[in-house]
Amino acid sequence: MMHRIERTFAGRPLIIETGRMAKQAAGSALVTYGETVLLAAVTVSDKKSPLPFFPLTVEYKEKMYASGKIPGGFIKREGRPRDEEILSCRIIDRSIRPLFPEGFQNEVQVVIYVLSADQENDHDVLGLIATSYALASSKIPWAGPIAGVRVGRIEGKWVLNPTFQALEFSDIDMVVAGTDDSIMMVEGGALEVSEADIVDALKVAQKGLAELVGMQEELLKKAGKVEKMEWKGTEIPDDVRKTVTKAAEKRIEAAINQKDKATRIQAVEKVKEEVKAEMAEVLAPEHHGLVGMIVGDIEYNALRDQVLSTGLRVDGRKPNVVRDISIDTSVLPRAHGSALFTRGQTQALVVATLGTANDVQRMDNIDEPKESTKSFMLHYNFPPFSTGEAKPMRGTGRREIGHGALAERAIQGVLPPFEEFPYTIRIVSEILESNGSSSMASICGGSLACFDAGIPLKAPVAGVAMGLIKEGKKYAILTDILGTEDHLGDMDFKVAGTETGITSIQMDIKIQGLDLKIMTEALAQAKEGRLHILGEMNKALPTVRPELSPWAPRIVTMTINPEKIGDLIGPKGKTIRGIQDETGAEVTVDDSGLVTIAAVGGEAMERAKQMVQAITAEPVVGETYQGTVKSVTAFGAFIEIMPGTEALLHVSEMRHHRVEKPEDIVKKGETVTVKLIDRDERGRLRLSMKALLPKPEGADSAAEGEGASSEGGEGGERRERRDRGDRPRGDRGGRGGRGRE
């Protein structure tokens, strides 16, 4: 049966429908906002998965037909997910995952299709709403509904779900997911805003979330209650838990307090194996498989209890202390910029590379009418050896794409405008060691690599990952969390920014929502950690290198008359390719006439610049030129003074005395020196040779006579001869303004 609800949200109609499409799924929802339409369908396995974790998968598919496009390339169907789709997957996954019951291990699949895109309304938050309703209306056990909103601030005013066009003027772009009274997930970027601004944004978001959750609850009530499926988690008898706890608790408490990650893991594993062996002689065979789970619970509780009771973490730090930091810059001699950033047992080798406009990433997506480009990229790589493991390396994973996007946003906000620094910038972070906060190390190392490369960032950027241990009303906020604290804690809250403010933020939680009080405290503590890290970075490299790397391309830009673009490119690109082949420089020109020249060597760039100027320069009246005689006529000669630019040298301007035959003075193909003496209102150019020659004695009176001959000589016949210059045959001078076509 179909059910539908419609409300106006943030000035646009929002519709949620169910029972219309994908009716064989466990739950489905069709969401329409403006003219953007998404379908979410959820399914669940009836059997418990044998995997030791909850197998939730989220697939987010942007269909090219949604905006009336056909996929580019040779294969005309959607293929592997693009980065933007993966980031939307992660937003939805991280928002819904904490609300599944602990111990539920039936496989759940969520599929979201973007069916229509109006290129005004972003659809990731709509995907959250559709997924939430599909889950809440299904038999799957889930503690929703939730909702998602995007928050922007334009000219000081908070805006919910700003359009793509409005976001261009916003200093905050933040996606917030949550219930009607708590925050579940935060993801966004900003232009150096304060912690107070972030809190205000969360308050604005919370109001929007409450409205959207209420809308879903109203539709759920209208559609009728759905009976949830029965499921069975792993049951651990009390006597078994007590027996194992008695044998393992003290040993686990001692094992976890190791500063070194590998030593700690080995110590915990040793205890697990010892306890398993001991329990094999004590417990019934059917309970042997529970020992590992119980020991894991003991480790979980021991770490958390220690932090809350003693204020000390497993590596001996207090909650607000950052690990030791070491920094090396210029570690790779041929790279344009590089930094090795080490914080505790997390290490990132980050490299910055400068490219030209030809190196931009070209993207075709459903949110823009035509192909777009991206001139800044940050790529994050997480090889298995960084954690001491041996695993297959099967390409870039979703986690790597997500961490790279987070770090990219952090630095994006402090980059110089492309017009001022016309380089394509690629940063690559190679994680060499990992024990928590590797994405934040990528941000710190990326900022240092940019400084090392001579990229004039507005300010250095640092990031810190915050954690949370919460039991009832008691909690502890942790700065610069370890991998263990991330795994066993309740929150992973990453904050990056400059000394002035925040540029990137991401929050995931494992409990069912956080209030603003804890988030406000976490932001304040994160600022202390960020400023400390910036201080250490400043000691290593306080300012941007004054010069680019000798291996980086030098780029100059110049503006030419758009009418000269064709002359520069030449037939089928022959002219511009010739410049590049001869000089080794890279030359590009856009439709506005902006020419970009890039070359590693200064000589190549200068030579290319001279060649471009020679082709595109505008003739200047009063200047002297070396020109080539292109043709000789009865009334003068046409001289090419610049490539593609010809001007008339009238017979009267060849000598101070009367010239009967122009061919006696100039010959086709020879080079002559001439002066540009006039450009008329039609753009026709006139040259003179006699203006460069000394006047003979008594030439003034002769010049007057010659002036008459230049007008056509004696009487009106000569004047009419000059007037014929306006006919098509004589209108050659006008080609000086356009060049030869």
Nearest to 157 by CA among 170, 147, 142, 145: 170
DSSP 494: E
Q: How far is CA 678 from the centre of its chain?
A: 52
| Separation of alpha carbons 703 and 722, rounded Å | 17
Torsion, CA 371, CA 372, CA 375, CA 381, rounded to 10: -80
Nearest residue to 497 via CA among 522, 526, 539, 521: 526
One-letter amino acid at 431 equals I
Which of 59, 61, 6, 62 is CA-nearest to residue 34?
6
Give, in words, the CATH class of 240-310. mainly alpha
Q: Where in the chain is the domain with CATH 1.10.10.400?
A: 240-310
CA distance 668 to 647: 14
Q: Which CATH architecture has domain 554-616?
A: 2-Layer Sandwich (3.30)
Measured in degrees and rounded to the nearest 5, phi and psi for residue 142 equal -160, 135
* Secondary structure class of 610 (helix, strand, coil): helix
Q: H helices then E strands: how many in the chain?
A: 17, 29
596: CB partners within 8 A, 6+ apart: 356, 357, 422, 555, 556, 557, 586, 587, 588, 589
Q: In which element (H, E) is residue 327 found? A: strand 325-329
DSSP state of 693: S
Q: Is 124 annotated as a binding residue?
A: no
| The predicted structure's pLDDT at residue 739 | 42
In words, the CATH class of domain 3-223 is alpha beta
**Which residues have CB under 8 Å from 332's CB, separation 6+?**
338, 351
How do 183-193 and 170-178 pair as beta strands? antiparallel
Q: Give the pairing type, strands 462-471 and 424-433.
A: unpaired
Closest CA to 33 of 16, 47, 51: 16
> What's residue 698's pLDDT?
63
H, E, C per residue of 496-512: EECCCCEEEEEEEECCC
CB-CB neighbours of 616 under 10 Å: 24
In the prediction, which pLDDT does 514 show?
A: 84
The Cα–Cα gap between 116 and 67 comes to: 6
The residues, any chain, with a CB within 8 Å of residue 13's CB and separated by 6 or more, are 6, 7, 32, 33, 34
Task: Give the tokens for residue 528.
Answer: 């202390």
What whole-number distance in Å separates Cα of residue 542 and Cα of residue 537? 7
Tokens of 611: 């060649």
Q: How many CA atoms lie within 13 A of 246 on its CB side?
A: 9
Locate the DSSP E strands across 27-181. 27-33, 36-48, 56-62, 106-116, 147-154, 157-160, 170-178
CATH 3.30.1370.10 segments of the chain: 554-616
Element holding 270 (H helix, E strand): helix 261-279
- How far apart (Å, rounded) are the C-alpha atoms in residues 737 and 741? 11
Cα torsion for 221, 223, 224, 228, to the nearest 10°? Answer: -100
Contacts of 398 (CB under 8 A, 6+ apart): 86, 89, 90
Beta-ladder partners of 428: 351, 379
- Cβ contact 291:236 at 8 Å: no
The architecture (CATH level 2) of 325-540 comes to 2-Layer Sandwich (3.30)
Residue 561 has a pLDDT of: 87
For domain 624-738, give its CATH number from 3.30.1360.30, 3.40.50.720, 1.10.10.60, 2.40.50.140: 2.40.50.140
CA–CA separation, 6 vs 4, rounded Å? 7
Instruction: Report the DSSP pairing between strands 424-433 and 376-381.
Output: parallel
- Cα 464 to Cα 431, 505, 525: the distances in Å are 16, 10, 10
DSSP state of 663: G
- Residue 20 vs residues 30, 214, 345: alpha-carbon distances, Å: 8, 22, 53
Q: What is the C-alpha to C-alpha distance for residues 441 and 465, in angstroms, rounded to an integer?
A: 10
Q: CA-to-CA distance for 727 and 722, rounded, in angstroms?
A: 10
Residue 204 CA, distance from chain mean position: 26
Compute CA 59 distance to the chain's CA centroid, rounded to the nearest angstrom: 21
Q: Which of 585, 604, 597 is nearest to 560 (CA)?
A: 597
Dihedrals phi, psi of 96, to nearest 5 degrees = -95, -25
DSSP states along 343-364: ETTEEEEEEEEEE-GGGPEEE-
Q: Are β-strands 170-178 and 157-160 bridged in parallel, bridged antiparallel, or unpaired?
A: unpaired
Map tokens 């993207």 to a residue: 363
pLDDT beneath 50, residues of the chain: 701-741
Find out whether 150 and 62 touch, Cβ atoms under 8 Å.
no
Report the distance separating Cα 297 and Cα 236, nearest Å: 12
Question: Has 486 been labeled as part of a binding site?
Answer: yes
d(CA 122, CA 36): 8
Cα separation of 371 and 616, whole Å?
29
